[in-house]
Amino acid sequence: MTQPVTIIMIEDDEGHARLIERNIRRSGVNNEIVAFGNGTDAMRHLFGADGSGLSQKGNALLILLDLNLPDMSGIDILKQIKENRYLKASPVVVLTTTDDSQEIKRCYELGCNVYITKPVNYENFANAIRQLGLFFSVIQVPPAAT
Amino acid sequence: MTAEAQRRRAFWQILLIAAGLLVLTVISAGSVYLVNKAREDSKWVVHTIEVENQINALLLEVRRAESSARGFLLTQGPDFQSDHEKAVAAIIPALAKLTRQIGDDPAQRDSIEKLSAAIETRLDQFSREMDFVKQGQPDKAAALIREAAAGNTTTTISNQANAMIREEERLFRIRTANSDRSQTLAASMTGIGSGLVVLLALVSTWLVRRSARARDEAEARLRDANVNLETIVDERTADLREANDEIQRFAYIVSHDLRSPLVNIMGFTSELEELGGDIFRRISSLAHVPADGPPLAPGSSGEIALEGPDKQLSTDFSEALDFIKSSIAKMDRLISAILNLTREGRREFQPEKIDIREFVEAIVSTLAHQAVEAQAEIHVGSLPNIVSDRLALEQIFSNLIDNAIKYLKSGVPGEIRIRGRTKLGYAIFEISDNGRGIDPKDHQRIFDLFRRAGTQDKPGQGIGLAHVRALVRRLGGTMSVSSELNTGSTFTITLPVAWNASNRNVDR
């Protein structure tokens, strides 16, 4: 039995974080959700104190990433995750307000697995997150590479 | 070089030319006058010589008459007689001619009178001598000759004639001197004049060369200034472009960052709505709880109607939430509009050759459904083909045609015309309708973002025309409207026939 998947949520807006968490829970996903309000904390958690990512070795992670963070660009985080040998296999879902086609293209090029634009319309938003939750419940996440 | 110096130089040049002209005129007039005078003088010199000749000829004739008369007296030969007669016959005309020629000189007239008198006396003597000889009285003739000799008639004639010749010689000397002087004067005048003209020409050449040099310098400065100007224009253009990009970025970031809290507001409003629903359902279930039974499970009793003040509370609650939600929705649309505009502003244009008539007809066919609903007919005239960005043009034309269909007068069959022509490298397109028209005071307003004009009976955000105008400007064109209320509107777009991306977005 593989260990349960931990959802890492990097989202600076507490409201968004709350709404996302609530809707994920409503879709029946009960995995642990670890939320970070800024990039630095998230990076420390993901890559460890030495920045190697060794601390996450063997953990199954799913990363929810907002691009507009106060201290750093989400794109940088995405890039580093996808370049790290332990983390690159973890699925990254970019969930952000940006709907610029250039930005979306760039994220996919960098290895993002899913890109979702946060709809302002709450019905759509809630729907999107719940479907994402359903997606989480069926997705197979590999443990961080050895 | 100052304008003052330039004026002074021009003044000097004009003065020089005027002086040259004056000198030339004076020389010409002087030369004409002097040449005439010289000719006159020469004529007088010739006249003097002629007079002298005439006097000599007259003397010669008198001598001939005298010698032939003597010969006749000695030999009585008829040869001498005819010779004498011929000589006598020549004397009178010669004398008459001399008198005529000399008529201008009062001094000589005196002399000629005396000469005439002497010659007449002598001629009289001659005829008497000849008569005596013919009658065979040579003694008398010889006596007459002696008498003539004693009376000094011949000497008088020759003296008088010599005096006249001397007088003429004197005149000849004076007149020759005169003539020489006028000729010298004419020559020196021409010489001096030519010298002056040459001098003036030299000065003028110098001035012209100096002004040419000044002009060259000015041209060089102008070239420098032009180069500078171009640099300045380039700098300003770069600045403007930077400012524009800055605005675009600003609008993009602002609209983005505004969106983030909006997601929360909308999200938690919806959560609140749901919460409100739960709360009121709970209130109603509590209100309807049977005095003895257990309370109904919340959620299953949504159908139970609230009563009295509870109902009022619920209505107020949902009304407030509805207002919040509709405002959020509107704000979202506005932010989306700004985002779309900035996105359009950042899009790179791809110029290509477009068959505009075919292109517009394609747009019209996509709007055919709306046109039929609005009872509108769309006429597409002949349109010039241009090189431009297809997507931008599509948005421009479809927006304008859509507007024309949208704002027709109700109850009047619509008539929309699309016409085009070219002028000076620009294609001018006109989209006119017979719709409700636009009040002239709103002509500027309709192009502003989020602004609309007239009766607000159609859905819309007030974005279309702002967007269209921004696109037209980015394509290097201009756009205007002419319209009165209730008389229809004509939107005119002027676009370059061959737009190339080089005038805009060059650095992107």
Q: For helices B464-474 and B308-346, give the axis angle rounded to 10 degrees.
A: 10
Higher pLDDT, B16 or B345: B16
Nearest to B493 by CA among B463, B467, B508, B473: B473
At residue B380, what are phi and psi to the nearest 5 degrees? Answer: -105, 120
**Going edge to edge, which strands form the sheet with A61-65?**
A33-36, A6-10, A61-65, A92-96, A114-117
Higher pLDDT, B395 or B3: B395
- Quick check: B163 and B112 in contact, CB under 8 A? no
- Alpha-carbon distance of B344 to B190, in angstroms, equals 85
- Quick check: B104 and B48 in contact, CB under 8 A? no
Query: What is the per-residue pLDDT for A146?
Result: 56
For chain A, give every domain's residue range.
Answer: 6-138
3-class SS of residue A114:
strand
Both tokens of residue B384? 């010039």
Could you give the percent of chain B with pLDDT greater than 90? 10
Query: What is the per-residue pLDDT for B502?
Result: 56
B260 near A CB under 8 A: yes
The CATH superfamily holding the domain B3-194 is Aspartate receptor, ligand-binding domain (1.20.120.30)
| CB-based contact A125 B263, cutoff 8 Å | yes
3-class SS of residue B309:
helix
Torsion of CA B50, B53, B55, B56, to 10 degrees: 180
pLDDT at B173 > cutoff 60: yes
DSSP one-letter code for A117: E
Using an 8 Å CB-CB cutoff, list chain B residues near A68.
Answer: 256-257, 260
Looking up tokens 């030299």 gives B202
- Alpha-carbon distance of A52 to A67, in angstroms, equals 22
B321 near A CB under 8 A: no
Cα B212-B217-B223 angle, rounded to 5 deg: 125
Across the A:B interface, residue pairs with CB atoms under 8 Å apart total: 51
pLDDT at B21 > cutoff 80: yes
Q: How many residues does chain A have?
A: 146
B245 near A CB under 8 A: no
**What residue type is assigned to position B162 of the chain?**
N
Full DSSP string of A54-96: GGGTT-BEEEEE-SB-SSSBHHHHHHHHHHSTTTTTS-EEEEE
- Alpha-carbon distance of B203 to A133, in angstroms, equals 101
H/E element, B80: helix B78-102
- Quick check: B474 and B392 in contact, CB under 8 A? yes
Q: Where are the beta strands (DSSP E) in B246-385?
A: 351-354, 376-380
**Which candidate in B258, B264, B273, B339 is best for mutational testing of the A interface (most A CBs within 10 A)?**
B264
Both tokens of residue A142? 């590999």
**Which candidate in B252, B253, B259 is best for mutational testing of the A interface (most A CBs within 10 A)?**
B259
A42 Cβ contact partners less than 8 Å away, ≥ 6 residues apart: A8, A10, A36, A77
B339 near A CB under 8 A: yes
Query: What is the per-residue pLDDT for A1?
Result: 39
pLDDT per position as a tens digit, B309-364:
888 888 888 899 999 888 888 888 888 888 877 777 777 788 888 898 888 999 99
B256 near A CB under 8 A: yes
Q: What is the largest CA-CA distance in chain B?
A: 217
**Which candidate in A120, A121, A125, A129 is best for mutational testing of the B interface (most B CBs within 10 A)?**
A120
Of the pLDDT bands very low, low, confident and very high (cuts 50, 70, 90), residue B508 is very low
Paired sense of beta strands B489-496 and B426-432, if any: antiparallel
Q: Which CATH class name applies to A6-138? A: alpha beta
Cα B198-B199-B200 angle, rounded to 5 deg: 90
B329 near A CB under 8 A: yes
Choose the most confident range, by mean pLDDT, from A77-81, B163-167, B458-462: A77-81
Query: What is the per-residue pLDDT for B256?
Result: 76
B458 Cβ contact partners less than 8 Å away, ≥ 6 residues apart: B406, B407
Chain B residue with minimum CA distance to A20: B267
| CB-based contact B270 A126, cutoff 8 Å | yes
- Quick check: A74 and A68 in contact, CB under 8 A? yes
Cα B155-B79-B97 angle, rounded to 5 deg: 50
pLDDT per position as a tens digit, B255-281:
778 888 888 888 889 889 889 989 988
| CB-based contact A19 B268, cutoff 8 Å | yes
Q: What mean pLDDT is predicted for residues B128-136?
A: 80
How far does the CA of residue B371 sit from the closest CA of chain A (Å)? Answer: 32
Q: What is the mean pLDDT of chain B?
A: 83
Using an 8 Å CB-CB cutoff, list chain A residues near B256.
Answer: 68, 97-98
The CATH number of the structural domain formed by B348-503 is 3.30.565.10
Using an 8 Å CB-CB cutoff, list chain A residues near B327.
Answer: none
Window from B104-113, B419-428, B470-479 with minimum mean pLDDT: B104-113
How far does the CA of residue A48 sit from the closest CA of chain B (Å)? Answer: 30
| CB-based contact B269 A122, cutoff 8 Å | yes
Q: What share of chain A is helix, strand, coil (3-state, %, to 5)?
A: 40, 20, 40
**Which candidate in A20, A68, A97 is best for mutational testing of the B interface (most B CBs within 10 A)?**
A97
Of the pLDDT bands very low, low, confident and very high (cuts 50, 70, 90), residue A2 is low
- Alpha-carbon distance of B115 to A3, in angstroms, equals 171
| CB-based contact B256 A126, cutoff 8 Å | no
- Alpha-carbon distance of B110 to B62, in angstroms, equals 20
- Alpha-carbon distance of B275 to B286, in angstroms, equals 16
- Alpha-carbon distance of B50 to B69, in angstroms, equals 28
At residue A8, what are phi and psi to the nearest 5 degrees? Answer: -95, 120
Q: What mean pLDDT is predicted for residues B462-477?
A: 86
Q: How many CB atoms lie within 10 A of CB B83?
A: 18
| CB-based contact B332 A121, cutoff 8 Å | yes
- Alpha-carbon distance of A17 to A119, in angstroms, equals 14
Q: What mean pLDDT is predicted for residues A101-128?
A: 85
**Which candidate in B256, B326, B348 is best for mutational testing of the A interface (most A CBs within 10 A)?**
B256
**What residue type is assigned to position B1 of the chain?**
M
How far does the CA of residue B498 sit from the closest CA of chain A (Å)? Answer: 29
- Quick check: A34 and A63 in contact, CB under 8 A? no
Residue in B260, B261, B270 nearest the CB of A122 = B270
- Quick check: B296 and B288 in contact, CB under 8 A? yes
pLDDT per position as a tens digit, B191-222:
888 888 888 888 888 888 988 999 999 999 99
B269 near A CB under 8 A: yes
CA distances from B236 to B231, B241, B244, B247, B476 (A): 9, 8, 12, 16, 18
pLDDT at B430 > cutoff 90: yes
3-class SS of residue A123:
helix
- Alpha-carbon distance of B309 to B296, in angstroms, equals 21
Query: What is the per-residue pLDDT for B334?
Result: 84
Of the pLDDT bands very low, low, confident and very high (cuts 50, 70, 90), residue B299 is very low
- Alpha-carbon distance of B189 to B184, in angstroms, equals 8
> Which residues of chain A are at the B interface, by a Cβ-Cβ cutoff of 8 Å?
13, 15-16, 19, 22, 68, 97-100, 118-123, 125-126
For chain B, give every domain's residue range.
Answer: 3-194, 258-342, 348-503
CA distances from B475 to B207, B265, B342, B369, B429 (A): 53, 39, 16, 30, 14
pLDDT per position as a tens digit, B48-85:
888 888 888 888 888 888 888 888 878 877 888 888 88
B134 Cβ contact partners less than 8 Å away, ≥ 6 residues apart: none
